[in-house]
Amino acid sequence: MGTLRLAPGETIGGKWLLRRRIGRGGMGEVWIAVHKSLEQEVALKVLDKDAFPLDLLDEARSRFHLEAQLAADLSRRTRHIASVIDHGDDDGLDYLVMELLRGESLEELLSRVGRVEPTELVEIVRQVARGLAIAHAEGVVHRDLKPANIFVTRDDEGVTLVKLLDFGIAKGKPRGRDSTHRTRAGVLLGTAAYMSPEQARGLAIDTRVDLWALAILSYELLTGQLPFDGTSDVDLLMNICTAVPTPPSELVAGLAPAVDEVFLRAFARDVEDRFPDARAFADAFADALQLPLPLVMPASGGDSLVNATYVATPPPMPALAGARVRGSILALSVGLLVVAALLVYLGSRPSAPPLAAASASPSPRVEGSVAPSVAPPAP
């Protein structure tokens, strides 16, 4: 770590008053700050130049400013990317100002709950996919999608809102620039556990590395464990390129085989065999997690997926068959009414010897005053 000597009460950029530090990493620090006149609370990120060798400092500063430009542009297009409010250079101190979020990262959520229930996870994945779709449409590849860089907060109505963070190693071209930031040959950027095979091998990449990472974190949040592991980063990257992960249905009771099929496609070695975009993966994932039968929650506590009872319901009656049944019921009702009317009519006539009645009486007919008027069924 470098030698940043920031303290509460200092002013950055002539207007941002530092309150307290909330994070520290390899590239710098994050503080809660407030605008001196507007009193707006923000998250202020500063770059620690002393944390980089001199030959890498220019690249670090370039990436820092690229992050500000990309996030500012993309966050105007979707609320699923944390917005950047300001950035600049204060006497050699590079900083960027972001919206201050209340909530927790997916990394913190996973650490707290172990794994996320499918109904909640589907919504998280859908929102992450929306943010990625906007970024990818603008030619931006995040390259470091992982639980630590996804934040769960709530909107003004209290509804769960998911935001993507940290475009510090993103690949893309900010607006108004003629060239993109180029990665030096032989340099791997990202977090090993979430790298795609082509990323791990140092090959050319595109937006599909983010789709691989989205599948990794979806698997991790669903099952509570990563699909690929290793005793070292080298071993881990080797497994990513060669191993087949355990089907999720073997780790979580109640999952349908369709869930396994989604991840088989998402982790295909050939990029052409994977999902074409983030929304396609999110839709397939949601469809696979839909329970085929209504779910009745158990009276006892515990994992709702493991302890749930499934109750079968009959399939809906086809429209044509239903119409025929209704017609038959109506015809039967009319018939019963006619029979009842006949019985009333015959019961009101004087009794006669059975043989005489059989031989002399004309065929009975239903009088309108005796039988109720019933409209015949519509043809």
User: How many of the other CB atoms lie within 10 Å of CB of 6?
Assistant: 16
User: How many of the other CB atoms lie within 10 Å of CB of 309?
Assistant: 11
| CB neighbour list of residue 81: distance below 8 Å, 6 or more residues apart | 71, 74, 75, 131, 134, 135, 163, 164
Which one of 48, 73, 94, 144 is the catalytic residue?
144
For β-strands 160-164 and 84-90, DSSP reports them as unpaired
Whats the size of the chain, residue-wise?
Answer: 379
Q: Which long-range contacts (CB under 8 A, 24 or more apart) does 176-185 make?
A: 177/69, 181/62, 181/63, 181/66, 184/59
Tell me if residue 94 is catalytic: no
Picking from 86, 56, 51, the residue whose alpha carbon sits closest to that of residue 69 is 86
What phi-psi label fits residue 176: left (phi over 0), alpha (psi between -120 and 50 degrees) or beta?
left
The CA distance from 25 to 318, in Å, is: 62
Alpha helix positions (H), the chain: 54-75, 106-113, 118-137, 197-200, 208-223, 233-242, 257-266, 278-289, 304-307, 319-348, 354-360
| CB neighbour list of residue 151: distance below 8 Å, 6 or more residues apart | 82, 101, 103, 104, 105, 106, 162, 163, 164, 165
Contact 65, 15 (CB under 8 A): no
Cα–Cα distances (Å) from 126 to 22, 220, 241, in that order, read 29, 16, 27
3-state helix, strand, coil in the chain (%, to 5): 40, 15, 45
Tokens 């937006």, located at residue: 207
User: How many of the other CB atoms lie within 10 Å of CB of 270?
Assistant: 7
The CA distance from 31 to 207, in Å, is: 31
Q: Which positions are catalytic? A: 144
